[in-house]
């Protein structure tokens, strides 16, 4: 198969550089990733932090061009990109395949990855081995671990050897069975205190940030005020230090007939409908012979070459 994207990729480094202007080449050479220090500085200045999921080269590129500060290769890719029933089905090797693709597509965002279920819970030794693969093979700058006090020792171990960790409390998709499904967390006094205690344990263990998922807005605000590290909200109201959403949700990539959009999602695009309409139009053009156009989409051959070729046929 042949596409303009593949053609560009196959032209070679020197030809690609020759086609660039001086400013374009300078921008490529000087591209700099956001660092954890940059995120901490945004938090210090009380500037909201933007974070989005990405699962492959092109979604990573979207985030880069939009200047999103943090890109998360989230375990939601199990359902969104691979069609699994839950986030718990994806394997480590499958996950790393997608992490590498995002890294290649995005040169500027802080790259954080979820750790799939079953690859860090067994022991701190297992977590270190898994983290090493993410750092070495996936080129990530940080990992995100679901869990509070229970995973604090693992967070402390990883940060002690130089692996930055982002925490994740409240609704934790990998633990949805234990939590009674996908529902709002922290609605009782005891549960609210438990979430705050989880956040404090992660902060003490060395986490550089924590995701608050599906907790009441006022609770998230109080928790944010009582931590020194940034909070990243998803379904946690406007008072967190930053926000994260699933890219396929906000761009409308999923089939509306199969997707129930969470209340906290704001949809900014309608990729699915646009894609279906475009593909349907392509099919019509092919069937009625209007694509490819002989003058616009086709290559030409010299008359004498065609004549000599025709002679050979005869």
Q: Which of 85, 156, 213, 221 is catalytic?
A: 213
Distance CA 48, CA 241 (A): 5
The residue whose two tokens read 């099919």 is: 283
* Distance, CA of 129 to CA of 140 (rounded, Å): 14
Do residues 199 and 227 touch, judged by C-beta distance below 8 A?
yes
Element holding 166 (H helix, E strand)? strand 165-170
- Contact status, residue 64 vs residue 78, Cβ threshold 8 Å: no
Of 161, 114, 121, the residue nearest 138 (C-alpha) = 114
Q: Strands 142-146, 110-114: parallel, antiparallel or unpaired by DSSP?
A: parallel
Give yes or no: 94 in active site: no
Residue closest to 68 by CA, chosen among 28, 109, 21: 109
Known catalytic residues? 213
């Amino acid at each position: 198969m042949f596409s303009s994207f593949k053609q560009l990729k196959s032209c070679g480094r020197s030809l690609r550089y020759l086609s660039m202007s001086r400013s374009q080449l300078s921008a490529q050479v000087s591209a700099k990733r956001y660092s954890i220090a940059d995120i901490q500085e945004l938090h210090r200045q009380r500037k909201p932090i933007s974070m989005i999921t990405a699962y492959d080269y092109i979604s990573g590129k979207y985030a880069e061009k939009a200047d999103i500060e943090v890109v998360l290769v989230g375990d939601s890719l199990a359902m969104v990109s691979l069609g699994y029933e839950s986030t718990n089905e994806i394997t480590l090797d499958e996950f790393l395949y997608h992490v590498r693709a995002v890294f290649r597509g995005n040169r500027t965002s802080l790259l954080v990855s979820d750790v799939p279920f079953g690859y860090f819970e067994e022991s701190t030794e297992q977590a270190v081995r898994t983290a090493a693969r993410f750092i070495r093979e996936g080129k990530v700058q940080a990992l995100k671990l679901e869990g509070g006090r229970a995973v604090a020792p693992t967070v402390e171990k990883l940060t002690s050897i130089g692996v930055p960790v982002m925490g994740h409390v409240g609704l934790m998709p990998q633990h949805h069975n234990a939590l009674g499904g996908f529902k709002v967390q922290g609605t009782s006094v005891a549960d609210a205190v438990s979430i705050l205690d989880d956040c404090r344990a992660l902060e003490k263990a060395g986490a550089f940030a924590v995701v608050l998922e599906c907790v009441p807005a006022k609770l998230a605000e109080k928790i944010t005020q009582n931590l020194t590290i940034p909070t990243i909200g998803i379904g946690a109201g406007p008072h967190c230090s930053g926000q994260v959403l699933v890219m396929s949700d906000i761009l409308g990539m999923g089939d509306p007939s199969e997707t129930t959009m969470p209340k906290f999602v704001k949809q900014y695009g309608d990729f699915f409908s646009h894609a279906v309409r475009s593909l349907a139009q392509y099919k019509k053009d092919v069937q009625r012979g209007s694509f490819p156009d002989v003058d616009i989409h086709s290559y030409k051959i010299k008359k004498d070459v065609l004549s000599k070729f025709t002679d050979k046929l005869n």
